Amino acid sequence: MANLVLTTFDWVPDMPRGHVRDIRVRWALEEAGLPYRVESVPFHHRSAGHFAHQPFGQVPWLTDGDLSIFETGAILLHLGELSGKLMPADPRGRSDVKQWLFAALASVEAASQPWSFFKFSGDTDETPMRAFFDGFLEARLKHMEEVLAGREWLAGAFSIADILMADVLRLVDRFEGLATYDHCRAYVARATSRPSFLKARADQMAHFAAAD
Amino acid sequence: MANLVLTTFDWVPDMPRGHVRDIRVRWALEEAGLPYRVESVPFHHRSAGHFAHQPFGQVPWLTDGDLSIFETGAILLHLGELSGKLMPADPRGRSDVKQWLFAALASVEAASQPWSFFKFSGDTDETPMRAFFDGFLEARLKHMEEVLAGREWLAGAFSIADILMADVLRLVDRFEGLATYDHCRAYVARATSRPSFLKARADQMAHFAAAD
């Protein structure tokens, strides 16, 4: 029996609430129906013990018995291997899920994260480099739009790859970056209407609100 | 018996030569001693067939029989599971390798790639956002410096996680971004002195030179 503990911050500012990365792990745990509990570490004072679990001082991490895992991609992969509900059983389906799991991070978030930093900063930069980063994201979204035009989920049934990709695209959508990408926007709406996501988001909001 | 085919571009401009991402896959294949062959797709005209294997029109991808995999992280994970030489056998060691594989992409390259775009562009931007991206990379390198102060490789023996992390840090080093990070620089030197890397780089350089 898995003994799963998800660790996140005790508090974060208002802006990132609903988008702290523990939501990806909560979402997968809810989707799989795996029992878990949530623990907190201080946002303001990051201890040596925190860095022992997460070497960059970020959150989340997951412990499963004496195994401790950081990086949401790695945590989702672990949960996908633990549960039959988060990825298919056949080798080809599993391989597809894994490549899309990496693609969500290394192809899409690699472009959306720098873009989101411009947005978070107040969106006043109008330099050539800003235009470059806009174009970098546009190129990736254009291809995602083609991918999502032809399928409901990235790799057959809903999987950990969709949790990660939808969470990445959800932040783009928050800043209206999906306005001209109908299939991407519909995909985010489809994914985030799942009860597992709604529960995960409500739980994250309640967790941080409890610390105010 | 694996039937591995690595596909990359037929040609690229001088600047990225030695850094095209097929080098990560070549490196792992050489390290594992797995037989493979290399095929090319046009850099200038990217066909529907290309997008069928790599939805973003990038390289590389790997086929293993009728399995086709894109994303270097996913390809390295596949090779790690195929060979006993690229990751440890025990569950904890494998979990450590996987979290560092994701960390190389989502924690370190997520910061080094935007930084490298400023470098590639001629390094003339002096905006507040440029300072932000510099600080983002510095924060990640500071933590990597602490991690690498205490170990030769990321997860026990040399693994696919080191191939990915060393390749990510190698590009930072090319632009002298590791000047004040002795342990990171030594790690890159240690990883890239391996015969498997030297062969991979020489093969990539020869592959693109043949098309000139």
Question: How is A62-124 classified by DSSP, letter by letter?
Answer: EEETTEEEESHHHHHHHHHHH-TTSS-SSHHHHHHHHHHHHHIIIIIIHHHHHHHHHHHTTS-
Q: Which residues of chain A have pLDDT under 50?
A: none
Contact B105 A107 (CB under 8 A): no
- Residues whose CB falls within 8 Å of the CB of residue B36, separated by 6 or more in sequence, listed in order: B4, B5, B6, B29
For B:45-84, CB contacts with A below 8 A are 51, 55-58, 66-67, 69-74, 77-78
Which residues in chain A have their CB less than 8 angstroms from residue B78's CB?
95, 98
pLDDT at A212: 87
Contact B129 A127 (CB under 8 A): yes
Nearest by CB to residue B95, choosing from A78, A99, A143, is A78
Contact A99 B51 (CB under 8 A): no
Q: Domain boundaries in chain B?
A: 4-86+196-209, 91-194
Of all residues in chain B, the one with the smallest CA distance to A99 is B74
Mutation for B interface: A129, A136, A140, A183, most B CBs within 10 A: A129
Q: What is the ipTM of this complex?
A: 0.97
Nearest by CB to residue A69, choosing from B73, B99, B132, is B99
Long-range pairs for A67-71 at CB < 8 Å and ≥24 separation? Answer: A67/B91, A67/B92, A67/B95, A69/B95, A69/B98, A69/B99, A70/B99, A70/B103, A71/B99, A71/B102, A71/B103, A71/B106, A71/B107
Nearest by CB to residue B56, choosing from A95, A107, A109, is A107
Task: Judge if A4-86+196-209 and A91-194 fold alike in CATH terms.
Answer: no
Dihedral pair phi/psi, residue B6, rounded to 5°:
-100, 125
Q: Which residues of chain B have pLDDT under 50?
A: none
Which residues in chain A have their CB less than 8 angstroms from residue B118's CB?
129
Contact A110 B113 (CB under 8 A): yes
CA torsion, points B86, B4, A140, A108, in degrees to nearest 10?
Answer: -20
pLDDT at B2: 64
Q: Is B60 left (phi over 0), alpha (psi -120 to 50) or beta?
A: beta
Which residues in chain A have their CB less than 8 angstroms from residue B56's CB?
103, 107, 139-140, 143
- Using alpha carbons, list the distances in angstroms from residue B34 to A33, A103, B28, B170: 40, 25, 9, 24
Q: Minimal Cα–Cα distance from B109 to chain A, Å?
A: 8
Task: Tell me whether A114 touches chain B (CB under 8 Å).
Answer: yes
pLDDT at A18: 97
- A144-163 tens-digit pLDDT: 999 999 899 999 999 999 99
Picking from A50, A2, A42, A161, the residue whose alpha carbon sits closest to that of residue A96 is A161
- B117-162 tens-digit pLDDT: 999 999 998 999 999 999 999 999 999 999 999 899 999 999 999 9
**Is the Cα torsion angle A106, A111, A117, A119 positive or negative in sign?**
negative
Q: How many residues does chain B have?
A: 212
Q: Does the domain made of B91-194 have the CATH classification 3.30.70.580?
A: no
Q: How far is CA B167 from the centre of its chain?
A: 4
Picking from B141, B181, B145, B148, the residue whose alpha carbon sits closest to that of residue B162 is B148
Give the C-alpha separation, A72 to A165, whole Å: 12
Which residues in chain B have their CB less than 8 angstroms from residue A141's CB?
none
* B210 CB neighbour count, 10 Å cutoff: 10
Nearest by CB to residue A114, choosing from B55, B114, B127, is B114
Q: Minimal Cα–Cα distance from A162 to chain B, Å?
A: 16
Which residues in chain B have their CB less than 8 angstroms from residue A58's CB?
107
Alpha carbon distance, N-terminus to C-terminus of chain A: 35
The CATH H-level (homologous superfamily) assignment of domain A4-86+196-209 is: Glutaredoxin (3.40.30.10)
Q: Where are the alpha helices (DSSP H) in chain B?
A: 22-32, 48-53, 72-82, 91-103, 110-120, 128-149, 160-174, 182-192, 195-209
Which residues in chain B have their CB less than 8 angstroms from residue A51's CB?
143, 146
- Residues whose CB falls within 8 Å of the CB of residue B87, separated by 6 or more in sequence, listed in order: B80, B81, B93, B94, B97, B155, B159, B160, B161
A59 touches A13 (CB < 8 A): no
